[in-house]
Amino acid sequence: MSKQITAIIVGAGHRAILYSLYALEHPDELKIVGVADPDPIRRKKVAEMHGFGEEMCFRNAEELAERPKLADAVINGTMDRQHVPTAVPLLRAGYDMLLEKPFAISEEEVNYLYKVVKETGRKVMICHVLRYAPFYVAIKQRLLSGEIGDIINIQATEHVSYHHLAVSFVRGKWGNEEKCGAPMLLAKCCHDMDLIMWLKSGVSPKQIASFGSDFQFDPAKKPAGAGKRCLVDCQCEETCLYSAKKHYLDHPDRWAFYVWDCLENIENPTLEDKRKSLMTDNIHGRCVWDCEHTVVDHQSVLMNFADGATATLNMIGGTAKPERNIHIIGTKGEIKGVFDDSVFTVRTIDTASEKGWNEEVVDLKIGGDKSGMTGSHGGGDLRLVEDFVHVLQGEEPSISCTTIKDSINGHLGVFCAERARKESAVITMPEIR
């Protein structure tokens, strides 16, 4: 029987908590034995959930790192700016790590963290959970089979729904790059950039170009009569598509882990508690045109790879329906699918056929949340944790494995795309150091 892996949560946000559910479902494989978080309420909740005492509760990563090693691994779910500063002392203290994406917010941080990983010899896996979603795993397997030949072009598109855009990237933590440390492309689409690099099997881009803007939420476009808060002083609330009442009171369970985070000290808050919070200090009660919003709401990226292949990534925020779709064209055929439907089509060239091709529709019949609104990401989240645990137990990693070395190109691609967008230039991709 394989050894049970012990882990400590660092940064007890909703992502780390979600990953820790694997320990409750598979207690023979993973046990959560501690938590480090500045919020005493969160520390208490995690301790109660996983059954450990106050002596294993720490205020921050530094306090944990000062102690002798207390577990096999850390699940690092801190905010973007904190990933590298918290990861480095814990790696040096001997912990392996499951690290939330984006794992770094600059090229310098990427190189520094990678250097520390090599120096310490610790195992680090990045939470690019979409690699583990059965939809993308099935597509990767078809590519590895050689069925559609060599990849010529990849077209990936992410539609970010209007309510996801508002809750996370306008009103929420990731709406201001200076505060969160990450541009929209890094915060939302490092998943998608990582998928493209993974599907290209280690072939790096040579050049990257990009365009994008904040099209919808420029303060100059604020409607006449709009106020500072939807439920306090807005004359447009009844007709506004981004009304906080419509988004969060009419649908109180949608993005609940973000919207009602400020009420976590109230047990079972009522709808009236929620209304009052939106009228006072809840950031999600603000007008979307009055949020110090500095990130783009749409962006397109064009990549030229070292082997001559090309790829495009389009991120469009504010759509009616969330959706990720992909189209991969190879020398012998193509794969085209919609992640949210769990369906893709494989077409291969057939010179003997009257129509010229063969077609197979693959329906994985996977339900549940695909957008991350309640977690899950199409079944990828806990499969990632399973792979991490198995790697620490000495087993071979899966084809989805997100080691830090395999994840670097996606982040470097994002940094180049942002430079390209801001400088109106074509940027040469740096080599991994």
Query: Residue 365 burial (CB < 10 Å; 0-12/13-18/19+)?
Result: exposed
CA distance 422 to 337: 32
Contact 149, 141 (CB under 8 A): no
Q: How far apart are the first and last CA of the chain?
A: 39
What pLDDT was estimated at residue 181? 86
Sequential DSSP letters for 81-98 = GGHHHHHHHHHHTT-EEE
CA distance 297 to 211: 11
Give tens-digit pLDDT for 174-230: 999 988 889 999 999 999 999 999 999 879 999 999 999 999 999 999 999 999 999
Distance of CA 168 to CAs 121, 191, 324, Å?
35, 16, 17
Coil, helix or strand at residue 300? strand
The arrangement of secondary structure in 130-217+293-428, i.e. its CATH architecture, is 2-Layer Sandwich (3.30)
- Which is more confidently placed, 82 or 14? 82
Q: What angle do CA 201, 207, 210 make, to 5 degrees?
A: 105
What pLDDT was estimated at residue 100? 96
What pLDDT was estimated at residue 378? 59
Give tens-digit pLDDT for 254-310: 999 899 989 988 889 999 999 999 999 999 999 999 999 999 999 999 999 999 999
What pLDDT was estimated at residue 374? 47
Residues spanned by CATH 3.30.360.10 within the chain? Answer: 130-217+293-428
What pLDDT was estimated at residue 153? 99
- Tokens 């604020």, located at residue: 222
CA distance 291 to 222: 11
Distance of CA 389 to CAs 3, 64, 417, Å?
10, 21, 33
CATH annotation of 5-100: 3.40.50.720
Least confident window among 40-54, 320-334, 371-385, 405-419: 371-385
CA distance 379 to 365: 12
Average pLDDT over the chain, rounded to an integer:
94
CA distance 35 to 52: 9
Q: Is 1's pLDDT higher than 80? A: no
Give tens-digit pLDDT for 292-301: 999 999 999 9
What pLDDT was estimated at residue 273? 96
CA distance 366 to 344: 12
CA distance 296 to 314: 12
pLDDT band for 402, please (50, 70, 90 cuts): confident
Q: Which helix (H) or strand (E) is 311 found in, with range? A: strand 310-319
Q: What percent of the chain has pLDDT over 70?
A: 97
Residues spanned by CATH 3.40.50.720 within the chain? Answer: 5-100
Q: Is 154's pLDDT higher than 80? A: yes
Q: Is 5's pLDDT higher than 90? A: yes
The first and second tokens of residue 334, run together, are: 């193509």
CA distance 362 to 339: 12
Q: What percent of the chain has pLDDT over 90?
A: 89
The first and second tokens of residue 373, run together, are: 């609104």
Quick check: bond before 102 cis, omega within 30?
yes
What pLDDT was estimated at residue 432? 76
Give tens-digit pLDDT for 330-382: 999 999 999 999 999 999 999 999 999 999 999 998 876 555 544 555 578 99
31 strand-pairing partners: 6
Q: What is the mean pLDDT of residues 75-101?
A: 97
Give tens-digit pLDDT for 238-258: 999 999 999 999 999 999 989
Give tens-digit pLDDT for 157-179: 999 999 999 999 999 999 999 88
Query: Residue 324 burial (CB < 10 Å; 0-12/13-18/19+)?
Result: buried
For the chain, what is the radius of gyration of the CA atoms? 22
DSSP 8-state class, residue 221:
G
Distance of CA 148 to CAs 32, 108, 329, 332, 334, Å?
43, 37, 8, 4, 6
Q: Is 416's pLDDT higher than 80? A: yes
CA distance 402 to 379: 16
Q: Is 387's pLDDT higher than 50? A: yes
DSSP 8-state class, residue 370:
S
Q: Which amino acid is at 350?
A: D
Sequential DSSP letters for 69-133 = P-SSEEEE---GGGHHHHHHHHHHTT-EEEEPSS--SSHHHHHHHHHHHHHHT--EEE--GGGGS
